[in-house]
Structure 1
């Protein structure tokens, strides 16, 4: 599908985070603005890594199938596009509740230049203990944390 770029990310997040998994879809092939596509497939430590990469890669395998220049369209948009192919995994890569993982990643990447202990302090009064139990350095920044560690933090918060 060629989704409207202004709602494509929101639709993808909804399709990736239902409470029950596997989802109703087996695979999705969607066109996004190239920068959004790069965020979907980004790895920890990269500039593009964030909430969208974690939610996409937690429960699916995503890859950029092709990129398209503005000239491929009439009239040409001001941005490049990319087609992303996403295949649902039978099980999430790591156990976590979708709602909690969404909440944690939203808070962590909302203030991505802050240390996690500061960015996540609104989630729990004892956030440093939860970070430690998930194997995360409280002074780390969100873009350096793996999907596995974010899932461990979501589980730790749910165990309260």
Structure 2
């Protein structure tokens, strides 16, 4: 009976969403020109938005935490997929449009504020998905924040995020490629990262100067004997001077060069040739050496 009641409620909510005016009309009525200062580019293609909302899998009854919903394009798609959405919006101009969406759906809660200052786990709850067409000016900072949580598995179940294509390529890059770097290791050493779909610049209003892509990241098991602090230190040093040999770049981390030799990693190599698994081994060896001292 409870499931039937919920299904009926969701059906009513979807009917309310279907009655809403098109996004372009909402944007025009509320005067929501995209703000360059806030890194805004609105995505209006409903079919594309629905495809993005399907990337995490079945969202019926799931909670989704969304950053920077703007006029609510992706928000509508997430709601159509049956999700309960907690959205954080910094731009006060967008709040009236989001309030209309919240009233029509019954499954949207909007937080007015800076996403970098929100207690996300408290607001969205453990097990929530994160989905966002991230503002370009805070996207990488938020990603690093979500990937460097000490407690693992993290409070979030998956990340479905829109980035500039260049950033997306760096997240999923393999060793030896030009895009491979710190983001690649942070995203892959205890998570699985994949490129879910490319998005052409023409899909946005206004069109950005660069292409975009959606990345999907899910938590994996954290390797034993390795801390995020060790991974961060090693990758920051190694890729901070990526054209130099490890024996030079890793001098910034006490004991790291000796740990590389002990782990069987040739210090004459450069960072872009060191695999994620090798960085994990290096971090484990360094952590063990520090404990022995």
Report the TM-score range of the alignment, normalised by the length of the smaller protein.
Answer: over 0.9
Match of 1:120 among 250, 256, 268: 250
Residues 1:20 and 2:132 are matched in the alignment = no
Alignment of 1:67-78 (within 5 A): 67-78=198-209
TM-score with structure 1 length normalisation?
A: 0.93
Instruction: Quote the offset at 1:95 in angstroms.
Output: 4.4
Alignment of 1:22-101 (within 5 A): 22-89=153-220, 91-93=221-223, 95-101=225-231
Instruction: Quote the offset at 1:17 in angstroms.
Output: 1.5
Match of 2:279 among 131, 135, 150: 150
Question: Residue 139 of structure 2: SS of its match in structure 1?
Answer: helix
Q: Distance in 2 between matches of 1:113 and 1:80?
A: 27
1:9-65 per-residue CA deviation (whole Å, 9 max, x = no partner) reads: 121111111111100011110000000000111001111101101110111111111
Q: 1:146 to 1:95 in 2, by over 3 A?
A: farther
Q: Distance in 1 between matches of 2:143 and 2:196?
A: 17
- Post-superposition, which runs of at least 4 consecutive aligned residues in structure 1 deviate over 4 A? none
Q: Distance in 2 between matches of 1:94 and 1:37?
A: 28
Residues 1:8 and 2:150 are matched in the alignment = no
- Tell me, which stretches of 5 or more residues in structure 1 are unaligned? none
Q: Distance in 1 between matches of 2:265 and 2:137?
A: 34
The number of aligned residues is 158
Q: Distance in 2 between matches of 1:58 and 1:95?
A: 13
1:43-101 per-residue CA deviation (whole Å, 9 max, x = no partner) reads: 01111101101110111111111111111111111011101111111x12564100110
Match of 2:270 among 138, 141, 149: 141
Match of 2:259 among 98, 115, 130: 130
Whether the aligned pair in 1 keeps the contact of 2:225 and 2:287 (CA below 8 Å) is no
Whether the aligned pair in 2 keeps the contact of 1:135 and 1:149 (CA below 8 Å) is no
**Aligned-residue CA RMSD (Å):** 1.3
TM-score with structure 2 length normalisation?
A: 0.52
